[in-house]
A = this chain, B = another copy of it.
Amino acid sequence: MIIDHLDEPLPGSSLRPTPPGVAYTDPEIFTQEQAEIFEKQWNCVLRADSLPQAGTWKTVTVGREEIIVVRTRKAGIAAYYNVCRHRGMRICTTGEGRSKTLKCGYHAWTYALEGELVAAPNLTSMPDVDQEAYGLRPVHVREWLGYVWVCLAEEPPNFDEAVLGEVRTSFGEVESIDNYGIENLACGETKTYDVQANWKLIIENFMECYHCATIHPELTEVIPEFADGLASQRKDGVVHGASFGDEITGFTVDGSSGVAEIPAIAPDQERKYYAITVRPQVFINTVPDHVIIHRMFPVSESRTIVVCDWLFLPEVVEKINAGTLDVSKSVELFHRVNEQDFEACEYTQPSMSSSAYTSGGALVPSEHHISEFHDWWYAALGWRAPEQVRDEQTTAAQA
């Protein structure tokens, strides 16, 4: 339906259209995105080592649902809807905690960490109540890169195809990201950003570097080739490692040296920055001495929470925690990039509802690979991209 709004592109132009503005502003389209994308695909929700012991749990928001992620005694990490099967109260009413069971605070229905109903007042007088059937409603869980990934779909997409395949497409080979041993790194810093913009604007922004010269002075100082507007993410299907400048000794806000390098990276990964997008809500950035991971949590058509982790070698994080090592120059570089990017997205969001943007905007040649994201988005919602419609119409007219 939304493709009705689109004008024809200017003939012969080297610019391609974006989706129409309504894609970024319509609450109904956002509801469809929640249902068809975020509640059907794999979401990276938290770092597995933030649940160190059996019984530690956190609540996270996936799509429109609140989910408990808990380390069990017998079955690794599990995840459940935070909804008591009796009368629905939130089982966990704070963001995190540790307990032997998951017990509802309303009528004391009590669930094992593994999910089944194990106790309730007068339960013994209700022998026909199936304690498995009335267990907490589970969601699918995987661990990868040291993160917990969850999927609310009853039949989740194959993780290897959906997530690893996405990385393989973006990063060339999954092996090359394996060099960073991200699952063995530790989190040295986490920052949360409350961005007043549609999540797709944030992905589009991350995918291109045409804006780098204008809004990222520190980043283009460290990686001079970004001033030319070509992103680390390229259309040819192989991620491009962007090289540090000649005088630069580390990926820090002033180009000074960083911390201990990750030992297993390949020679061509030294002095380079790589960035990939794992749709629908993860960005991975690698540099020789740390890895930066963004997780997005869309809240509304015009608001997105972004959580950004800076991961270092465990011995580096030990020193940070002991106060004997300062990584603030490393953190500050991408923190500034984040703030610069999100400000741009926030000044873009209000225009999405303008009649001057009814037909969307334009992608210059160095942004053309964003069309791939747009095609994925149209397909995820069961729509056809306008170009596809036009191609079909042309074919039909010729036949």
Say whether, besides A90-B351, A354-B65, A362 and B134 are in contact (CB < 8 Å): yes
Verify B88–A351 contact, CB threshold 8 A: yes
- Determine the distance from Cα of A129 to Cα of B65 in the docked complex, in whole angstroms: 45
Which residue of chain B has the shortest Cβ distance to A133 in the bound complex?
B10
Q: Which residues of chain A from 322 to 366 have any CB-CB distance to chain B below 8 Å in the complex?
A: 344, 347-348, 350-357, 361-366
Contacts of A86 in B (CB 8 A): 361-362, 364
Q: Is A95 an interface residue (CB 8 A)?
A: no
Give the distance to chain B from A348, nearest Cβ to Cβ, in Å. Answer: 4
Q: Is A247 an interface residue (CB 8 A)?
A: no
- Determine the distance from Cα of A362 to Cα of B135 in the docked complex, in whole angstroms: 13
Verify B213–A108 contact, CB threshold 8 A: yes
Q: Which of A14-22, A249-257, A384-392 contacts B (4 or more CB under 8 A)?
A: A14-22
Verify B88–A130 contact, CB threshold 8 A: no
Q: Which interface residue of A81, A128, A211, A352 has the most chain B CB atoms within 10 A?
A: A211
Q: Is A89 an interface residue (CB 8 A)?
A: yes
Verify A89–B133 contact, CB threshold 8 A: no
Give the distance to chain B from A208, nearest Cβ to Cβ, in Å. Answer: 9
Verify A15–B362 contact, CB threshold 8 A: no
Say whether, besides A122-B229, A344-B89, A84 and B351 are in contact (CB < 8 Å): yes
- Determine the distance from Cα of A11 to Cα of B93 in the docked complex, in whole angstroms: 32
Give the distance to chain B from A250, nearest Cβ to Cβ, in Å. Answer: 27
Q: Which residues of chain A from 123 to 160 have any CB-CB distance to chain B below 8 Å in the complex?
A: 125-126, 128-130, 133-134, 137, 152
Say whether, besides A121-B210, A128-B13, A344-B89, A106 and B215 are in contact (CB < 8 Å): yes
Q: Which residues of chain A from 27 to 60 have any CB-CB distance to chain B below 8 Å in the complex?
A: 39
Q: Which residues of chain A from 79 to 100 have any CB-CB distance to chain B below 8 Å in the complex?
A: 81-90, 93
Give the distance to chain B from A90, nearest Cβ to Cβ, in Å. Answer: 5
The count of identical subunits is 3
Contacts of A183 in B (CB 8 A): none
Question: Main SS of chain A's interface residues?
Answer: loop
> Quick one: which of B13, B152, B213, B351 contacts A129, CB cutoff 8 A?
B13
Q: How many residues of A contact B (CB 8 A)?
A: 62
Verify B214–A348 contact, CB threshold 8 A: no
Which residue of chain B has the shortest Cβ distance to A355 in the bound complex?
B65
Verify A105–B14 contact, CB threshold 8 A: no
- Determine the distance from Cα of A140 to Cα of B210 in the docked complex, in whole angstroms: 33
Give the distance to chain B from A289, nearest Cβ to Cβ, in Å. Answer: 30
Verify B356–A87 contact, CB threshold 8 A: no
Verify A21–B215 contact, CB threshold 8 A: no
Verify A89–B347 contact, CB threshold 8 A: yes
Verify B126–A364 contact, CB threshold 8 A: yes
Give the distance to chain B from A135, nearest Cβ to Cβ, in Å. Answer: 11
> Quick one: which of B10, B85, B353 contacts A361, CB cutoff 8 A?
B85
Contacts of A128 in B (CB 8 A): 12-14
Q: Is A66 an interface residue (CB 8 A)?
A: yes
Contacts of A5 in B (CB 8 A): none
Q: Which interface residue of A21, A39, A129 has the most chain B CB atoms within 10 A?
A: A129
Selected A-B contacts with CB under 8 Å, 24 pairs: A15-B129, A66-B350, A81-B354, A82-B351, A82-B354, A83-B356, A85-B362, A86-B364, A87-B348, A87-B361, A87-B363, A88-B348, A88-B354, A89-B351, A90-B350, A90-B351, A105-B347, A106-B347, A106-B348, A107-B214, A108-B214, A121-B229, A122-B365, A126-B364
